[in-house]
Amino acid sequence: MEDRRWLTIKIDVTRTKQHLLTELEGLINFCKAFVVDDSDTSRRTQIDLYGDYLKVWDLVEKKGKKWTEIAKEVFPDDFIDADAQTESHYTPNPEAARIKTEQYYNAACKLIDEGLP
């Protein structure tokens, strides 16, 4: 597994020094949000969900899909027919998936509005 404490970059030396420093500072700040202390499990879990948050946001904002359509795409296990399940102890819950989809959308909006923690 790659050590996320290290950042490898290429620099376009034809850019101004000030421009490069500004971009580098932004890049460092962005990447630092993904370097997580292993003891901070709540933050790690949230970072792991950012992709799903943004996927839900994209499906609402760009594709115009409805909550249930998105829930079926993001949480397909919650829509499996109970008779079709094999050896799984997971109970499908379409309504919980729809609610979670709305929560993910709200989390994405917050992430977009406020930026990374």
**Do 40 and 63 have their domain in common?**
yes
* pTM tops 0.85: no
Paired tokens of 27: 């890049």
Dist CA 43 CA 33 (whole Å): 10
| Residues 56, 77 within the same domain | yes
75 and 98 both lie in a single domain? yes
- The predicted-structure confidence for 77-87, as pLDDT tens digits, reads as follows 888 775 555 55
Give Cβ neighbours of residue 33 (< 8 Å, ≥ 6 apart).
47, 116, 117
Band the pLDDT of 1: cuts 50, 70, 90. very low
Structure tokens belonging to residue 110: 């917050």
Domain housing 2: 1-35
Domains in the chain: how many in total? 2
As a whole number of angstroms, the distance between CA 23 and CA 12 comes to 11
At 98-117, the pLDDT tens digits run: 999 999 999 889 888 887 66
| Statement to judge: residues 17 and 68 lie in one domain | no
- The Cα 24–Cα 40 span in angstroms is 26
